[in-house]
Structure 1
Amino acid sequence: MPTNSPESEPHRHRRMAESFGADADRYDRTRPRYPEEMIARIAAAAPGPDVLDVGIGTGIAARQFQAAGCRVSGVDVDPRMAELARRDGIEVEVSAFESWDPAGRTFDAVVAGQTWHWIDPAAGAAQAARVLRPGGRLALFWNVFQPPDVLRDAFAEVYRRILPDLPALGQAGPAVDLYASLLDKITDGVRAADAFGEPERWQYAWERVYSRDEWLEQVPTHGPATGLPPERRRELLEGVGAAIDAAGGAFTVHYDVLVLTAVRRGE
């Protein structure tokens, strides 16, 4: 999820974008997957099987697209994440997407899971238009999590204490609402490319029960925690763990998957 206030411009914070590979195995092991219904819909809506995964990371979404019958290639800024994705036989090039050289290659779909907020919305959309075949589909998606209200407030209090410069955690309301301005900016970038049909938004809901240990294992993979010194990270995990213990030791997280998608117009 975006780790800055949606009013900021996350793509300007490249150092955080390049921090997730510090523990790539943990990231791959703990980060949530995406609904199969969404994967199948994107694959079926593309004119062919060739998919470029932008910000492929460790290959979480890429493996799901492979299972759906797609041929997946990837681009990522972090060589540590790219190396893990290559273990599944995926060809991954290390580059910022905006400056990546496709060497004449084109694709039926350009997808990005949990990453497009790190990409310049105008330059990224223009690059996607260059590498998509006519009728090809751009599909950008995010898992947005919402813990129960009592834990949302308790988590926010812990993060405010340890990471006081993270304003989004102090905002009230559903988590998906925090993405509204971000998606508006990305939509503006897609429209500015003047190469796509009108962008659409899809949404999928799912839930998962987490134990205390399962949630704490995932916490260090989120942007604010990746660069914390060991002592502050330990303080963060202790605070979050205490909140979960007070709530009974396990809880249900509601996920909304937000999808922004558009079709590349013909030449």
Structure 2
Amino acid sequence: MAAIARAKGLDVEVSAFEKWDSQGRTFGLVSFGQSFHWVDPAVALPKIRTLLRPGGSLALAWNDIEPISELKSRLDAVVARFHADGRTASLGSRASWGTEASPEASANSATAEPVRKVEPVEHPALTQRRDAGFAPNETTFVEDLHYSRHDWLSIVFTYSAQLTMDPVKRAVMREEMSAEIPDDGLDARNEALLVLAGA
């Protein structure tokens, strides 16, 4: 990314954000694209306040892209087999697991199975910003997309949960997901989130 930016004539400084030296510079905008979860907010947010000029803004953006149609359930089932904790959450929601009996199992509590419950909650990005003295606003942008099998898998396997897997398990998971995706690819929806916060 740094090489691409430099090739376009942009000045680039490579550093962990928490250790980066601003050398007294201030900015009208500080932005994180799909990356704020990589920094320590307890360190980063106070630092950002010192970087922003009066009237400046902090912009945080994430994509939340999921397949639509019944294919989503099949792909989720593959993911669940490889991530034992079974916990996933979309932006703006909290996924929790409880134990409830299905109608078929109601007569036998021993057959109760975990059921995913999703409760609407404020996204942590908003709460963290408010706690640090920012005034955040949330905007969601929705777009319908289509991906080839290769392009979809290329996205999924850039996510941290997959990047940190055992390489052999990751390869098997990719093969199983690939087998579920039709030759003509899949339709998906992106509910992109922008949190824009003024100091």
TM-score of the superposed pair, with normalisation by structure 1: 0.58
The one-letter code matched in structure 1 to 2:167 is P
8 Å CA contact retained: 2:92, 2:122: no
Alignment-derived partner of residue 251 in structure 1: 186
- Give 1:190 deviation, angstroms: 2.0
Q: Is residue 2:62 matched to residue 1:142?
A: yes
CA separation of 1:115 and 1:241: change in aligned 2, threshold 3 A: same
- Give 1:182 deviation, angstroms: 7.2
Higher relative contact order (CA 8 A, sep 6+): 2
Alignment-derived partner of residue 193 in structure 1: 132
Cα separation, 2, equivalents of 1:190 and 1:98: 17
SS at match of 1:133: strand
Q: Which residue of 227, 238, 260 corresponds with 2:175?
A: 238
- Give the fraction of aligned pairs with identical amino acids, expressed as a percent: 33
| Cα deviations by residue, 1:51-86 (Å, 9 ceiling, x for unpaired) | xxxxxxx2xxxxxxxxxxxxxxxxxxxxxxx34543
What is the root-mean-square deviation in Å for CA atoms of aligned residues? Answer: 2.3
Cα separation, 1, equivalents of 2:6 and 2:163: 23
Equivalences, count: 174
Alignment-derived partner of residue 178 in structure 1: 93
8 Å CA contact retained: 1:97, 1:127: no
SS at match of 1:95: coil
**More helix by proportion, 1 or 2?**
1
Q: Is there any run of 5+ residues in structure 2 with no aligned partner, and where?
A: 95-119
- Give 1:166 deviation, angstroms: 4.9
CA separation of 1:90 and 1:111: change in aligned 2, threshold 3 A: same
| Cα deviations by residue, 1:147-181 (Å, 9 ceiling, x for unpaired) | 1142221111111212223511xx6xxx3443765
Q: Is there any run of 5+ residues in structure 1 with no aligned partner, and where?
A: 1-57, 59-81
Q: Is residue 2:132 matched to residue 1:212?
A: no
**More strand by proportion, 1 or 2?**
2
CA separation of 1:182 and 1:223: change in aligned 2, threshold 3 A: farther
Q: Is residue 2:140 matched to residue 1:203?
A: yes
Cα separation, 2, equivalents of 1:188 and 1:178: 13
